[in-house]
Homo-oligomer: A and B are copies of this chain.
Amino acid sequence: MRLAILGGIAVTPERVIEDAGILIDEDGRISFVDTREQLEECEDWEDEIELGEKDVIMPGLINTHTHGPMTLFRGVADDMPLMKWLREEIWPLEERLDAEKCRWGAALAAMEALKSGTTCLADMYFFMDAVAEAYAEVGIRAVISHGMIDLGEEDKREEELKESKRVYRKCQGMEGLIEFSLGPHAPYTCSEELLKEVRRLADEWGVKIQIHVAETEDEVKEVKRKHGKRPVEYLDEIGLLGDDVIAAHCVWLDDKEIEILSKRGVIVSHNPISNMKLASGISPVPEMLERGVNVTIGTDGCASNNNLDMLEEIKVAALLHKVNKMDPSATEMLEILRMATVRAGTVFSSEKIGAIEEGYAADLVVLDGSSPRLNPNHNPISNIVYSASGSDVKHVFVAGELVVKNGKLVKADEQEILENSTECAEQLTSS
């Protein structure tokens, strides 16, 4: 059935259309975008949804770096530096994870993400077949990867690649919303052999690569000590980088590395809240944008954020660089919105996502025009970036299907997710 969405203010994000008319085809893609009047003149449809006059309809937000099941660790350890936090708190808890726990943690992540306007996650974690199933069931789009760490050990390397292959085969059987990718954890936790094998498999399978890069100053020191080069230079030298690589964090970069990221077309995921909370540093985002690097935005996991609210994340991304550069125009609102939508759409391979344009998947978010944060409406882009919160989300469509209606999940039972994820979280921290 062809579905028309009528009324409201569409932010595509390049155009702002009042009293909009959007047509979604049977295949879940957008086939027409203009005013209601134009739509009524040119097309017909079987089903329709009428939005409020002040409702804002925008592309679903794309969170390009997270670890879904870490919702289970929300609030478990705060106000600590990255390596202490990882070694003393997070890694010991992760030892206790299993598929069932990751499944419910991922369901909670999907619930939180969809309800706050995110329609696609790029995710790296463990037990990713269970995670992929949970995402598909709740109805969120995702690029998933098993996080591989070999620390130079051959046995471990084989084991990690085997697990990635297992998840790859599993994903081949899942349709539409789930895409597989390879997830070498970071240049300081993966051997050169592993990284080169990842490149080979990515080319063979035609899949993306997700990796943490240059998150802390210590990482830069360690990679330099080991390989005589800074992380981005090293990764480029061994042939890993390309436009199929999602490089998370990218906090500690020199000019030459920014140039490499630009030249290779790497997708950078900027994670300002996590970088601030762990005091990792401030990524040179204005410099990257100036040199044409494809910068996108991610929340990182809930243990270092501590939520998945992309509307909060884009506001903080916009604010941080203004004060850091002492220049209020260092990051401009439309560019920030593009970073979380149409630019970020590049993380997904088999569909065009991230814009309200013909041919794009109908991943759409409707913000409630009766929220005080959206009133008055001098500028809907400003209201999205600087004022709205994740909870202003009213409806969410993924691939044309309504997955959040009036703020509630449609395909999954919220109470069941809350109860099961809470039980899993309690099991993790009980002694």
Q: Mark A163-197, 1 if CB is under 8 A from B, else 0.
A: 00000000000000000000000000000000000
The distance from the CB of A136 to the nearest CB of chain B, in whole angstroms, is 18
Are A425 and B378 within 8 A (Cβ)?
Answer: yes
A206 proximal to B (CB < 8 A): no
Report the Cα distance A380→B306, complex, angstroms.
12
Residues from chain B with Cβ under 8 Å of A332 in the complex: 79
Residues from chain B with Cβ under 8 Å of A75 in the complex: 376-380, 382-383, 386-387
Residues from chain B with Cβ under 8 Å of A415 in the complex: 370
Residues from chain B with Cβ under 8 Å of A306 in the complex: 382-383, 386-387
Within 8 A of B (CB), among A328-348: 328-333
Known: A376-B74, A426-B376. A323 touches B389 (CB 8 A): no
A325 proximal to B (CB < 8 A): yes
Report the Cα distance A391→B372, complex, angstroms.
11
Residues from chain B with Cβ under 8 Å of A372 in the complex: 71, 108, 111-112, 115, 418
Report the Cα distance A387→B301, complex, angstroms.
12
Which of A7-15, A43-51, A255-263, A276-284 makes up part of the contact surface? A276-284
A152 proximal to B (CB < 8 A): no
The distance from the CB of A322 to the nearest CB of chain B, in whole angstroms, is 5
Q: Mark A77-114, 1 if CB is under 8 A from B, else 0.
A: 01111100100000000000000000000001001100
Are B276 and A322 within 8 A (Cβ)?
Answer: yes
Checking B74, B319, B373 against A309 with a beta-carbon cut-off of 8 angstroms, the contacting residue is B373
Report the Cα distance A157→B71, complex, angstroms.
56
Are B414 and A370 within 8 A (Cβ)?
Answer: yes
Residues from chain B with Cβ under 8 Å of A279 in the complex: 322-323, 325-328, 330
Q: Mark A269-312, 1 if CB is under 8 A from B, else 0.
A: 00001011111111000000000000000000010011101001
Known: A386-B307, A387-B307, A391-B389. A323 touches B281 (CB 8 A): yes
Q: Whose C-beta in chain B lies nearest to the C-beta of A331? A: B79
Report the Cα distance A382→B76, complex, angstroms.
8
Residues from chain B with Cβ under 8 Å of A387 in the complex: 74-75, 302, 305-307
Residues from chain B with Cβ under 8 Å of A322 in the complex: 79, 276-279
Q: Mark A373-410, 1 if CB is under 8 A from B, else 0.
A: 10111111011001101111000000000000000000
The distance from the CB of A372 to the nearest CB of chain B, in whole angstroms, is 4
Number of interface residues of A (CB under 8 A): 73
Residues from chain B with Cβ under 8 Å of A362 in the complex: none
Q: Whose C-beta in chain B lies nearest to the C-beta of A385? A: B78
Known: A320-B276, A323-B282. A307 touches B79 (CB 8 A): no
Are A418 and B79 within 8 A (Cβ)?
Answer: no
Q: Whose C-beta in chain B lies nearest to the C-beta of A111? A: B372
Checking B111, B277, B282 against A328 with a beta-carbon cut-off of 8 angstroms, the contacting residue is B277
Within 8 A of B (CB), among A98-137: 108, 111-112, 115
Q: Whose C-beta in chain B lies nearest to the C-beta of A333? A: B78
A145 proximal to B (CB < 8 A): no
A429 proximal to B (CB < 8 A): yes
Residues from chain B with Cβ under 8 Å of A376 in the complex: 71-72, 74-75, 421-422, 425-426
A202 proximal to B (CB < 8 A): no
Report the Cα distance A322→B323, complex, angstroms.
14
Checking B302, B309, B319, B379 against A273 with a beta-carbon cut-off of 8 angstroms, the contacting residue is B319
Most chain B CB inside 10 Å of its own CB: which residue of A79, A115, A305, A429: A79
Most chain B CB inside 10 Å of its own CB: which residue of A72, A277, A316, A391: A391
Residues from chain B with Cβ under 8 Å of A386 in the complex: 75, 78, 277, 305-307
The distance from the CB of A283 to the nearest CB of chain B, in whole angstroms, is 11
Task: Supply 7 A–B pairs (Cβ within 8 Å), ascending by A.
Answer: A75-B383, A76-B378, A78-B382, A80-B328, A80-B329, A302-B387, A312-B389
Give the B-binding residues of A (Cβ under 8 A).
Answer: 71-76, 78-82, 85, 108, 111-112, 115, 273, 275-282, 302, 305-307, 309, 312, 315-316, 318-320, 322-323, 325-333, 370-373, 375-380, 382-383, 386-387, 389-392, 414-415, 418, 421-422, 425-426, 429
